[in-house]
Amino acid sequence: MFAAAESVRDTSLFDFALSPGHYLHLDEWVNSPFTAGNSVPVRSGMVMQVDIIPVSKGPFVYVDLKDGAALADDELRAKLTQLDPTLMQRVARHRAYMINELGYVLDACVLPLGNTSGWLAPYVTNLSLAPTHA
């Protein structure tokens, strides 16, 4: 995860303020597996927050991308669909938006939890810059 975030950072413009993510709930920020050189495996059932907080090297403001996502293998996705079909319908809409409108490549195991997942905050200032979804 750290290497993936680092590979798309423009080093001439930005530094990272934090690691690019951490677990959610009680160990938020306390124990991030997403550090340089760390190879801690991620597994089905984990819920994480992607914290991409690039800090500007120039005279302009930094941006902030924070999204919650759950990781779920086939078995867990089937169980979630059975337990809460409306949840999984929302997740499917969010995934479709991220893939079809924003251009993300997401593994089937990634379940975005928010309705602004993957949407960079500066777009909020001008809604015509980002496609919307229901």
Three-state secondary structure of 20-82: CCEECCCCCCCCCCCCCCCCCCCCCCCEEEEEECEEECCCCCCCCEEEEEEECCHHHHHHHHH
* 3-state class (DSSP) for residue 16: strand
| 90 to 50, 107, 112: CA distances (angstroms) | 19, 17, 9
Q: Residue 62 — pLDDT band, cuts 50, 70, 90?
A: low
- In the prediction, which pLDDT does 134 show? 47
pLDDT at 60: 63
pTM value is 0.71
Task: Write the pLDDT tens digit of every residue in 70-106.
Answer: 999 999 999 999 999 999 999 999 999 989 988 889 9
